Chain A
């Protein structure tokens, strides 16, 4: 499995669940240390390290390669690694893989898959409606949420046309080690009750030279992460010219007609380039996604 985050890679090897959770607890503790003292922590929520060159992050999802991980008989790995890596509170799916009919209204039951992270809209309805500026455009263009300012009015959730926002209705369930960290707006840790969360494009990882968890996790290399400024994109293995990738493959954006101008592009397809197992429709295992935070807390208690 190339390109998996180190702390999480062993989890795919045969290993007891308990061991896995202990490992993850350690990873969480490591994050806690970085979160508290690391350089990635900005002084104020809306400030981003001014020393770095300003990127314009985009994501490209090649739907030809995405089969919802159905062929592998595992839950969609992008969602799963997002959950694990970002300590997504129980029940939320910042990156959700939707199953959709391929030929609507036709006598066909063929399906394709649509992984949907936050589209990081350039004309973002969520940013527009936020009464306190808790949802804002970072200088790199991504849309972030300052959970220490959010008042929990949820108008941004109503405004998001992609259902990409999640609310901490009660006390969010996360590993205890994460809960103890000082708040970091880039990683949205720890999660606060009564505030909104969503995919943040893992820009803290990108700034450190890494890739978002979903890009690293995808076993089909369906994800590209790129920078419009330097016009490059990578899926963790190959590096390509971003504009060419978009042009040659006639990339589109979801619900372009709404005028939200997303930073997430799609290359149309239905998993035809994914090495195929048989009868994959029945093996789409989104229901088996895990948020192991309660178990981790129990294991480390």
Chain B
């Protein structure tokens, strides 16, 4: 082991020892916000959904901020698949330091996002009816199974490459961490000894998972879009939705990944491992998605706006010039911003990419807001007393709580396991095997 390797190891393992005041402060604050959300949900359970803003809309807005958040979080979950599977297949080397975070974002976003439709249920006590009476005809069932499949797949895909690093923690941190943590490393590293056979199995498992997870990920956002697209509603009844949602998911997933990466790099001082180059690379990817998203929007708006079938006019009016126009144009501007930022050499920097990512995440939330609220506002029957939806305090508290839960889980994770993959990086840093004949004996076998 040379000096840089030891350096890497200590950079990555050091944060796992002890908690630190800053962490406790952050985690405590987040926990309070989560708790407020839990209390709000308890009131909702006690009072029913009448505590939401939806109840005031005379059954015209049957969905609100919960479903918006649902689509948003599931969208974010695509970060992991993109980075760890798609780029792994494409053998993009710069992804190495960020794969683990990406995969963890996937798991957390799916868990938090998956809670949202349950929070939205009128009868959460009957959720098991989905298993007892589930009908394959319903998009809800497609979602239920596709999201749980994706969650379990992602957990496996997160865990497998973690094993060698957990073993590293077990060996290196044995005397320095608390007993429960030691026990955790002991158990979770599943008797990893780094034998050639173990490396080979690890390699096979990773290859299988990276191929399997891609179609699962695509299916998830497609069926999420089908919840909307399987109805006859203006603004939802369109074939472009599946592809549009998948692209939107990759877009916001990448943006979130960039933000989390920046925070973790700063907190854990990983500047040696995660370079600015990785940020600009991802920035270019964002810019590419900008174009794709704008293209989808153009397709949707032009094909419906040209023909102006019944109801389309009302909907387009409301988003282009009507009450949703500020939202809509902010969204379009947000879509375009990564492309603009990456085009101008001066802003093509770490901070430029960070700003672009923030804007993208906000813009993509707005997009889902328009998809849910503006669409449901378009009347299907001859009435003019339009229902206006505003999220209630309970809805806002639960939403904030869910965001806090998302951040909290990531923070806790970063204290539990190395946030970058030590064994994968090590290999990248020392690519030449000492004895070319004995290749299968180390991580090289895995990556080959």
Contacts and interface: CB of A to CB of B under 8 A. Distances in A.
Given A125-B232, A167-B59, A131 B381 contact: no
A91 B60 CA distance: 13
A170 B122 contact: no
Interface stretch (B49-57, B269-277, B290-298): B49-57
Interface string B8-22: 000000000000000
B381 A150 contact: no
A241 interface: no
A154 B63 contact: yes
B59 A163 contact: yes
B381 to A, nearest CB: 5
Indicate the member of A158, A166, A167 with the most B CB atoms within 10 Å.
A158
Contact of B126 (A133, A151, A165): A151
A99 B382 contact: yes
B79 to A, nearest CB: 27
A171 interface: yes
Interface string B374-386: 0010001111000
A153 interface: yes
B25 interface: no
Contacts of B153: none
Interface residues of A, number: 44
**Of B54, B59, B124, most A-chain CB atoms within 10 Å:** B59
A151 B49 contact: no
Contacts of B380: 161-163
B262 interface: no
Contacts, number: 130
A131 B59 contact: no
Contact of B227 (A98, A130, A155, A169): A155
B231 interface: yes
Interface string B125-141: 01101101111011111
Given A116-B381, A131-B141, A151 B129 contact: yes
Interface in B110-134: 117, 120-124, 126-127, 129-130, 132-134
A194 B49 contact: yes
A132 B144 CA distance: 12
Given A125-B231, A158-B63, A170-B47, A131 B117 contact: no
A274 interface: no
Contacts of A162: 380-381
Contacts of B129: 132, 134, 149, 151
B409 interface: no
B62 A195 contact: no
Contact of B232 (A92, A153, A159, A168): A159
Interface string A187-228: 000001111100000000000000000000000000000000
B63 A169 contact: no
Given A91-B58, A170-B48, A152 B134 contact: no
A128 interface: yes
B45 to A, nearest CB: 10
A169 B232 contact: no
Nearest to A101: B382
A158 B139 CA distance: 12
B265 interface: no
A129 interface: yes
Nearest to A104: B382
Contact of A194 (B48, B62, B134, B138): B48
Interface centre among A99, A116, A153, by most chain B C-beta atoms within 10 angstroms, is A153
Given A158-B233, A194-B121, A130 B135 contact: yes
B126 A157 contact: no
B138 A131 contact: yes
23 contacts: A92-B59, A98-B381, A101-B382, A114-B382, A129-B137, A131-B135, A149-B129, A149-B133, A151-B124, A151-B126, A153-B121, A154-B63, A155-B139, A157-B59, A158-B228, A166-B59, A168-B122, A170-B48, A170-B50, A170-B55, A193-B48, A194-B123, A195-B122
> Which are the 8 A-B pairs with shortest beta-carbon distances?
A152-B122, A194-B122, A170-B50, A169-B55, A131-B140, A131-B138, A100-B382, A169-B50
